[in-house]
Amino acid sequence: MKKTFIFLMVIIAGGTGFALKTTMTRQPPSANSAIHQHSASHSIIGQQRPEFAIRDLDGKMRNIKEWNNKIILLNFWATWCPPCKEEIPGFIQLQKTYGKQHFQIIGIAVDEENAVRRFVKKTGMNYPVMAAEEEAAELSRRYGNSVGGLPYSVFINKKHKIVATITGELSKNRAITIMNKLGITTR
Protein backbone atom coordinates (compact mmCIF):
# COMPACT_ATOMS: atom_id res chain seq x y z
CA MET A 1 0.00 0.00 0.00
CA LYS A 2 2.78 2.42 0.95
CA LYS A 3 4.72 1.69 -2.27
CA THR A 4 1.58 2.22 -4.36
CA PHE A 5 0.96 5.57 -2.65
CA ILE A 6 4.54 6.73 -3.27
CA PHE A 7 4.34 5.58 -6.90
CA LEU A 8 1.10 7.55 -7.40
CA MET A 9 2.62 10.66 -5.83
CA VAL A 10 5.64 10.45 -8.18
CA ILE A 11 3.31 10.10 -11.20
CA ILE A 12 1.20 13.09 -10.09
CA ALA A 13 4.26 15.27 -9.39
CA GLY A 14 5.81 14.36 -12.75
CA GLY A 15 2.60 15.08 -14.64
CA THR A 16 2.18 18.41 -12.88
CA GLY A 17 5.77 19.42 -13.70
CA PHE A 18 5.35 18.43 -17.34
CA ALA A 19 2.09 20.38 -17.64
CA LEU A 20 3.66 23.45 -16.03
CA LYS A 21 6.69 23.33 -18.34
CA THR A 22 4.45 22.90 -21.40
CA THR A 23 2.29 25.83 -20.37
CA MET A 24 5.24 28.06 -19.44
CA THR A 25 7.18 27.47 -22.66
CA ARG A 26 4.29 27.87 -25.11
CA GLN A 27 5.06 30.56 -27.71
CA PRO A 28 2.47 33.26 -28.43
CA PRO A 29 0.43 32.47 -31.58
CA SER A 30 0.73 35.90 -33.17
CA ALA A 31 3.37 36.31 -35.84
CA ASN A 32 2.38 39.90 -36.70
CA SER A 33 4.87 41.47 -34.31
CA ALA A 34 8.40 40.52 -33.36
CA ILE A 35 7.89 41.80 -29.83
CA HIS A 36 5.25 39.89 -27.85
CA GLN A 37 4.22 40.17 -24.26
CA HIS A 38 2.34 37.93 -21.89
CA SER A 39 -1.20 39.27 -21.50
CA ALA A 40 -0.96 39.36 -17.70
CA SER A 41 1.94 41.83 -17.94
CA HIS A 42 0.45 43.94 -20.73
CA SER A 43 0.04 46.95 -18.43
CA ILE A 44 3.78 47.20 -17.77
CA ILE A 45 4.72 47.54 -21.48
CA GLY A 46 5.76 51.11 -22.24
CA GLN A 47 6.27 51.99 -18.60
CA GLN A 48 9.50 53.19 -17.00
CA ARG A 49 11.46 50.32 -15.48
CA PRO A 50 11.19 49.97 -11.70
CA GLU A 51 14.41 50.88 -9.89
CA PHE A 52 16.19 48.29 -7.75
CA ALA A 53 19.45 47.51 -6.03
CA ILE A 54 20.43 43.96 -5.04
CA ARG A 55 23.74 42.41 -3.97
CA ASP A 56 25.44 40.21 -6.56
CA LEU A 57 27.13 36.91 -5.74
CA ASP A 58 30.33 38.76 -4.80
CA GLY A 59 28.46 40.87 -2.25
CA LYS A 60 28.61 44.05 -4.36
CA MET A 61 25.44 46.16 -4.42
CA ARG A 62 24.26 46.38 -8.05
CA ASN A 63 21.76 49.02 -9.13
CA ILE A 64 19.84 48.87 -12.43
CA LYS A 65 21.09 52.43 -13.10
CA GLU A 66 24.53 50.89 -13.60
CA TRP A 67 23.34 49.71 -17.02
CA ASN A 68 21.76 52.97 -18.20
CA ASN A 69 22.05 53.53 -21.96
CA LYS A 70 22.07 49.80 -22.63
CA ILE A 71 19.42 47.47 -23.94
CA ILE A 72 18.72 45.15 -21.01
CA LEU A 73 17.40 41.61 -20.90
CA LEU A 74 16.37 41.16 -17.27
CA ASN A 75 15.85 37.44 -16.60
CA PHE A 76 14.18 36.03 -13.48
CA TRP A 77 15.09 32.37 -13.00
CA ALA A 78 15.94 29.59 -10.51
CA THR A 79 18.29 26.61 -10.40
CA TRP A 80 15.35 24.26 -9.72
CA CYS A 81 13.49 25.42 -12.86
CA PRO A 82 14.22 23.20 -15.93
CA PRO A 83 13.16 25.76 -18.61
CA CYS A 84 15.29 28.39 -16.83
CA LYS A 85 18.35 26.18 -17.08
CA GLU A 86 17.60 25.41 -20.75
CA GLU A 87 17.64 29.08 -21.80
CA ILE A 88 20.85 30.08 -20.00
CA PRO A 89 23.38 28.64 -22.54
CA GLY A 90 21.74 30.81 -25.23
CA PHE A 91 21.94 33.83 -22.93
CA ILE A 92 25.65 33.21 -22.36
CA GLN A 93 26.16 33.22 -26.16
CA LEU A 94 24.05 36.36 -26.62
CA GLN A 95 26.01 38.27 -23.96
CA LYS A 96 29.33 37.20 -25.45
CA THR A 97 28.31 38.08 -29.01
CA TYR A 98 26.32 41.30 -28.50
CA GLY A 99 27.66 42.81 -25.27
CA LYS A 100 29.81 45.23 -27.25
CA GLN A 101 26.63 46.65 -28.85
CA HIS A 102 25.37 48.03 -25.54
CA PHE A 103 23.38 44.88 -24.76
CA GLN A 104 23.33 43.57 -21.19
CA ILE A 105 21.74 40.50 -19.66
CA ILE A 106 21.07 40.62 -15.91
CA GLY A 107 20.07 37.44 -14.07
CA ILE A 108 17.91 37.69 -10.96
CA ALA A 109 17.60 34.31 -9.25
CA VAL A 110 14.52 33.57 -7.20
CA ASP A 111 16.61 31.04 -5.35
CA GLU A 112 19.02 30.34 -2.52
CA GLU A 113 22.40 32.06 -2.97
CA ASN A 114 24.64 28.99 -2.52
CA ALA A 115 22.70 26.98 -5.11
CA VAL A 116 22.94 29.90 -7.52
CA ARG A 117 26.66 30.34 -6.87
CA ARG A 118 27.31 26.64 -7.68
CA PHE A 119 25.18 26.81 -10.85
CA VAL A 120 26.88 30.02 -12.09
CA LYS A 121 30.30 28.46 -11.58
CA LYS A 122 29.29 25.22 -13.32
CA THR A 123 27.75 26.93 -16.36
CA GLY A 124 30.20 29.84 -16.73
CA MET A 125 27.49 32.52 -16.76
CA ASN A 126 29.13 35.67 -18.14
CA TYR A 127 26.65 38.30 -17.00
CA PRO A 128 25.74 39.77 -13.60
CA VAL A 129 23.71 37.42 -11.41
CA MET A 130 21.96 38.24 -8.17
CA ALA A 131 20.16 35.80 -5.86
CA ALA A 132 17.47 37.21 -3.64
CA GLU A 133 14.67 34.62 -3.13
CA GLU A 134 11.63 36.56 -1.80
CA GLU A 135 13.02 39.97 -2.77
CA ALA A 136 13.57 38.67 -6.32
CA ALA A 137 10.02 37.27 -6.47
CA GLU A 138 8.63 40.65 -5.41
CA LEU A 139 10.84 42.43 -7.97
CA SER A 140 9.56 40.15 -10.73
CA ARG A 141 6.00 41.16 -9.77
CA ARG A 142 7.00 44.84 -9.99
CA TYR A 143 8.23 44.06 -13.51
CA GLY A 144 4.83 42.64 -14.50
CA ASN A 145 5.08 38.96 -13.54
CA SER A 146 1.61 38.79 -12.01
CA VAL A 147 1.44 34.98 -12.24
CA GLY A 148 4.83 34.45 -10.58
CA GLY A 149 6.00 32.04 -13.31
CA LEU A 150 9.62 31.26 -14.07
CA PRO A 151 11.49 31.92 -16.19
CA TYR A 152 10.31 35.47 -16.76
CA SER A 153 12.22 37.86 -19.01
CA VAL A 154 11.90 41.60 -19.56
CA PHE A 155 13.44 43.66 -22.36
CA ILE A 156 14.21 47.29 -21.46
CA ASN A 157 15.26 49.84 -24.10
CA LYS A 158 17.95 52.52 -23.77
CA LYS A 159 15.33 55.02 -22.61
CA HIS A 160 14.58 52.76 -19.61
CA LYS A 161 11.15 51.72 -20.94
CA ILE A 162 9.86 48.15 -20.74
CA VAL A 163 9.24 47.00 -24.32
CA ALA A 164 8.59 43.25 -23.99
CA THR A 165 7.96 40.60 -21.35
CA ILE A 166 8.10 36.85 -21.84
CA THR A 167 6.75 34.28 -19.39
CA GLY A 168 8.34 30.90 -19.99
CA GLU A 169 11.47 29.83 -21.77
CA LEU A 170 12.97 32.48 -24.06
CA SER A 171 14.77 30.91 -27.02
CA LYS A 172 17.91 32.48 -28.38
CA ASN A 173 16.19 33.03 -31.77
CA ARG A 174 13.22 34.80 -30.20
CA ALA A 175 15.58 36.98 -28.15
CA ILE A 176 17.49 37.90 -31.33
CA THR A 177 14.23 38.88 -33.05
CA ILE A 178 13.41 41.25 -30.19
CA MET A 179 16.99 42.56 -30.08
CA ASN A 180 16.80 43.37 -33.82
CA LYS A 181 13.67 45.45 -33.18
CA LEU A 182 15.58 47.32 -30.50
CA GLY A 183 18.49 48.19 -32.78
CA ILE A 184 21.00 45.42 -32.03
CA THR A 185 22.61 44.25 -35.27
CA THR A 186 22.61 40.46 -35.24
CA ARG A 187 23.14 39.64 -38.90
| Containing structural domain, residue 143 | 34-181
CA-based nearest residue to 79, from 88, 68, 67, 70? 88
Q: Rounded to the nearest 5 degrees, what angle is found at the Cα of 131, between the Cα atoms of 130 and 132?
A: 115
In a domain, 24, yes or no: no
Count of the separate structural domains present in the chain = 1
- Looking at residue 186, its pLDDT comes to 75
3-state secondary structure (DSSP) of residue 28: coil
> Phi and psi dihedrals of 44, rounded to 5?
-85, -20
Q: Per-residue pLDDT averaged across 32-38, rounded?
A: 39
CATH of the domain at 43: 3.40.30.10
CA distance 12 to 8: 6
Q: Summarize the confidence of residues 4-24 as an average pLDDT.
A: 41
User: Does residue 51 sit within a domain?
Assistant: yes
pLDDT in tens, 150-182: 999 999 999 999 999 999 999 999 999 999 999
Which range among 9-18, 76-85, 101-110, 139-148 shows the weakest confidence by mean pLDDT? 9-18
pTM, 2 dp:
0.78
Q: Is residue 131 within 8 Å of 79, Cβ to Cβ? A: no
